[in-house]
Amino acid sequence: MRYIVTGGAGFIGSGLADRLAADGHEVLIVDNLSSGRRENIEHLLGNPYVTFVEGSVTNLDLLLDLSLGADGIFHQAAIASVPRSVAAPLETNEVNVTGTLNLLWAAKECGVPAVVAASTSAIYGDEPVFPKEESMPPAPLSPYAVSKLAGEYYGRVFSDLYGVRTVFLRYFNVYGPRQDPNSDYAAVIPKFITRLIEGRPPIIYGDGEQTRDFIFVADVVRANIMAMESSASGVFNIAGGSRISLNQLASILSAITGVNRQPVYDQPRPGDVRDSVAAISRAREAFGFTPRYTLEEGLRETVAWFRKMVG
């Protein structure tokens, strides 16, 4: 099969490209390297079935050129940060909404049968109902969440009107190797790990009792491929199905790293959701997905990778 992976030099996208190439597929990676990193895919570029194109999903002409003959598109390209979206809502809209619309239009025009796209649990907001089910009314708290919800709506319309099968996977808190800890908007686990490895205390925004539903990146990659290979369409939660507080997370990582540093607490960040946990039965019923990694297994692999990188 010939697959396109947008954002394919990024954290999740590069894992997808790895897996697809290992399974013998032709892979076309599209990334503008604004947050993706060439080193994530350098090892793939000698493969004659892997092509890298540096470009953006905001470039419709490029997407139309690349989509001809594709069997499916994995859409991972995005500005994937709540704080960044609060600081830059126009840029977030351009990439996440217009970019997704461009990609769907290219799929429709070029006869690509299926698009599997990244969405987010941030769409649920802070509604005090747990676990979060796909049928719940959305309550976005940030431009990022709004932009992802708009992408889902476009996906449903393109499926209904134009026959492009679309699957939008609402990722909860994804973590694992290759996640960038250096950005101002980096996710909590890579920041906690790198600070502990360096002997510094983790920083928690808020009281640390806010909860998250974490899922290892390898499970997210599996979910994408299972969704593409199925006949499913619609919106699906992709998560571990249980929640843990950030205080508990800091304690577990302290034990795994062997570095005992008490967290430092700072002001909560605007747009952040307080609590999150997913119902994951819909993905299991639609395309057989259940996570394989426990949180501790995934954290141990992640810490080992960061130790190797930090040296």
The one catalytic residue in 3, 124, 144, 175 is: 144
- Is 124 catalytic? The answer is no
The DSSP secondary-structure symbol of 183 reads S
168 in any annotated domain = yes
CATH of the domain at 229: 3.40.50.720
- C-alpha distances out from residue 235 to 124, 238, 296, Å: 13, 10, 28
Mean pLDDT throughout 100-112? 98
d(CA 178, CA 55): 21
Number of domains in the chain: 1
Q: pLDDT tens across 143-183, in order?
A: 999 999 999 999 999 999 999 999 999 999 999 999 998 87
Residue 298 counted as domain residue: no
CA neighbor of 215 nearest in space, from 281, 284, 131, 290: 290
Question: Does residue 205 lie in a domain region?
Answer: no
Q: Is residue 77 part of a domain?
A: yes
8 Å CB contact between 144 and 85: yes
CA distances from 188 to 20, 175, 195, 211 (A): 28, 9, 11, 12
pLDDT confidence of residue 311: 64
Q: 241 falls in which pLDDT band (50, 70, 90)? A: very high
Evaluate whether residue 302 is within a structural domain. no
Domain of 111?
2-174+214-239
Does some domain include residue 87? Answer: yes
Q: Report the C-alpha gap between 301 and 287 in whole angstroms.
A: 26
Residue 74 pairs in a beta bridge with 5, 116
pLDDT value of residue 271: 87
Q: Is the peptide bond before 48 cis (omega within 30 degrees of 0)?
A: no
Torsional class of 199: left (φ above 0), alpha (ψ -120 to 50), beta (otherwise): left
> Quick check: is 12 in a domain?
yes
Q: What is the pLDDT of residue 182?
A: 83
Q: What is the mean pLDDT of the chain?
A: 96
Whether 92 maps to a domain, the answer reads yes
Percentage of the chain modeled with pLDDT above 70: 100
Contacts of residue 305, Cβ cutoff 8 Å, sequence gap at least 6: 176, 177, 178
Is pLDDT at 35 greater than 80 in this prediction?
Answer: yes
Confidence of residue 232 (pLDDT cuts 50, 70, 90): very high
- The reported pTM is 0.96
List residues bridging with 202 in a β-sheet. none
